[in-house]
């Protein structure tokens, strides 16, 4: 929200101040025609590798303020969890990085760069410019992206697949202007009905995505019980899941389509009128191995070809982000795996996430020789983006300890 731009700037300045308090030799707040990000660098001791720690300090709006148990911007501890907007997504990730550095009194045994972004929640529109203009300041042997989810509370999880995203706005027009429904209803089509009919073609009767040409791949060998999914989503009694196949496949390695919004008259403002135009925003999550541009073309072609009764249609492209597949091989990944096992006392698992982290594909493209580690401080009960967002403090401490142990292992 534009009115909160000063708050985002204060957040960036606070992160920079904490790093300066650790005597970090290079700290800058940069904004490449976007929201402010923090770039910092602790130079590597002779012969040591460099890792780049990523998280983001921007957050989602709070929604219904009255629904929160405590103020969303006052951190409150209850029952071993820390409540507040951004605790799990992703200020918890920011502070895990800072805690790991603090464990070394600001003198880590390896080189450390930090990239604390300020606009991840709006799709990272200036990320490409930051990477282009500050590439040397971000280059590293490994990137630790603390912005995913642990599969369970107390279970360290490395994310190895991410879905991509494209969205668009479809506008349907049938009349130059609205006409009386009593005079012309039954002869000319209303645009809202046309829109509803075309949106209904995006899924088959079982809820599978019906757009042709999209990629779907097998999911990992992990169980996601139906009762857990129902609890975590708040699925209402009698409402069935949609689609075919294992839950982890439908969640992580198959496409998903949702209608995010519709512009049409409100019920409170309804009049007896044949609606001349209506539009909707459609979001497509695409599977690992797919391509954002190709998927957008497939979605556009489907929408344009399924509008009924000759109605005019315009499809306008929106946000786009590539899916990602992350390698689990190499000495740095093995060091991270061993560090997580030591910190958590459990063998980590590999999982996917249904969401998108655009910088993963960007980092892979810009730094093809680097190891990518997508880690987490969030858990299934964190309610990220929702009311009463929270963070399990025991898991947060283990996440920070994992980074301490990783730096120690890499230095040896």
Question: pTM higher than 0.75, yes or no?
Answer: yes
In this predicted structure, the answer to whether residue 1 has a pLDDT above a threshold of 80 is no
pLDDT tens-digit readout, 136-160:
999 999 999 999 999 999 999 999 9
In this predicted structure, the answer to whether residue 2 has a pLDDT above a threshold of 80 is no
Quote the pLDDT of residue 406. 98
Grade residue 134 by pLDDT with cuts at 50, 70 and 90: very high
Total H helices, total E strands in the chain: 12, 18
Contacts of 348 (CB under 8 A, 6+ apart): 155, 156, 157, 158, 337, 340, 341
- The Cβ of residue 227 has, within 10 Å, a number of other Cβ atoms equal to 8
Grade residue 375 by pLDDT with cuts at 50, 70 and 90: very high
**Mean pLDDT throughout 58-68?**
94
Three-state SS annotation for 284-321: EEECCCCCHHHHHHHHHHHHHHCCCCCCEEEEEEEEEE
In this predicted structure, the answer to whether residue 261 has a pLDDT above a threshold of 90 is yes
Rounded CA separation 384/388 (Å): 8
Homologous superfamily (CATH) of 2-162+323-411 is Zn peptidases (3.40.630.10)
Judge residue 344's burial from the number of C-beta atoms within 10 Å of its C-beta, 0-12 exposed, 13-18 middle, 19 or more buried. buried
| CB contact burial 350-385 (16+ within 10 A = b; e otherwise) | bbbbbbbbbbbbbbbeebeebbbbbbbbbbbebbbe
Torsion of CA 240, 243, 247, 253, to 10 degrees: -150
pLDDT tens-digit readout, 182-224:
999 999 999 999 999 999 999 999 999 999 999 999 988 888 8
Quote the pLDDT of residue 233. 87
In this predicted structure, the answer to whether residue 362 has a pLDDT above a threshold of 90 is no
Calculate what percentage of the chain has a pLDDT beyond 90.
Answer: 88
**Mean pLDDT throughout 166-172?**
97
In this predicted structure, the answer to whether residue 123 has a pLDDT above a threshold of 90 is no
Grade residue 412 by pLDDT with cuts at 50, 70 and 90: confident
Domain boundaries, the chain: 2-162+323-411, 164-217+254-321
Quote the pLDDT of residue 352. 92
Which residues are designated catalytic? 58, 120
Contacts of 267 (CB under 8 A, 6+ apart): none
pLDDT tens-digit readout, 314-358:
999 998 888 989 999 999 999 999 999 999 999 999 999 888 777
Which CATH number is 164-217+254-321's, of 3.30.70.360, 3.20.20.70, 3.30.830.10, 3.40.50.1860? 3.30.70.360
Q: Where is pLDDT greater, at 389 or 224?
A: 389
The chain-wide mean pLDDT, for the chain, equals 95
| CB contact burial 147-186 (16+ within 10 A = b; e otherwise) | bbbbbeeebbbbbbbbbbbbbbbbbbbbbeebbeeeeeee
CB of 121 closer than 8 Å to CB of 127: no
Q: Where is pLDDT greater, at 83 or 63?
A: 83
């Amino acid at each position: 929200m534009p009115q909160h731009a000063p708050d985002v700037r204060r957040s960036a300045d606070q992160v920079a101040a904490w790093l300066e308090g650790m005597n970090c030799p290079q700290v800058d707040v940069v904004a490449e025609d976007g929201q402010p990000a923090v770039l910092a660098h602790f130079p590597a001791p002779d012969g040591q590798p460099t890792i780049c720690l990523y998280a983001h300090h921007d957050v989602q709006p709070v929604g219904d303020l009255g629904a929160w148990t405590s103020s969303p911007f006052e951190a409150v501890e209850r029952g071993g969890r820390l409540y507040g907007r951004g605790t799990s997504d992703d200020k918890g990730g920011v502070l895990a990085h800072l805690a790991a550095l603090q464990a070394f009194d600001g003198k880590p045994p390896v080189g450390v760069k930090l990239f604390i972004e300020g606009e991840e929640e709006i799709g990272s529109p200036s990320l490409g410019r930051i990477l282009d203009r500050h590439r040397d300041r971000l280059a590293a042997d490994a990137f630790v992206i603390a912005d995913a989810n642990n599969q369970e509370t107390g279970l360290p999880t490395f994310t190895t697949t991410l879905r991509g995203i494209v969205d668009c706005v479809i506008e349907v027009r049938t009349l130059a202007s609205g006409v009386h429904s009593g005079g012309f209803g039954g002869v000319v089509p209303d645009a809202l009905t046309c829109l509803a009919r075309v949106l209904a073609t995006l899924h088959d009767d079982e809820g599978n995505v019906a757009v042709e040409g999209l990629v779907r791949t097998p999911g990992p060998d992990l169980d996601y019980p139906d009762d857990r999914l129902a609890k975590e989503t708040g699925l209402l009694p009698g409402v069935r899941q949609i689609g075919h196949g294992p839950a982890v496949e439908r969640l992580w390695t198959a496409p998903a389509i949702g209608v995010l919004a519709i512009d049409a008259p409100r019920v409170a403002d309804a009049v007896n009128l044949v609606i001349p135009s209506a539009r909707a925003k459609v979001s497509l999550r695409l599977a690992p191995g797919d391509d954002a541009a190709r998927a957008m073309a497939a979605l556009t072609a489907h929408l344009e070809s399924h509008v009924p009764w000759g109605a005019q249609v315009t499809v306008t492209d929106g946000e786009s982000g590539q899916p990602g597949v992350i390698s689990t091989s190499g000495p740095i990944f093995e060091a991270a795996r061993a560090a997580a096992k030591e910190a958590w006392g459990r063998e980590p698992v590999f999982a996917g996430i249904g969401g998108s982290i655009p910088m993963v594909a960007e980092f892979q493209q810009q730094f093809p020789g680097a190891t990518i580690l997508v880690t987490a401080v969030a858990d299934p009960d964190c309610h990220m983006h929702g009311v009463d967002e929270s963070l399990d403090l025991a898991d947060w401490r283990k996440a920070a300890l994992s980074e301490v142990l990783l730096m120690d292992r890499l230095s040896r």
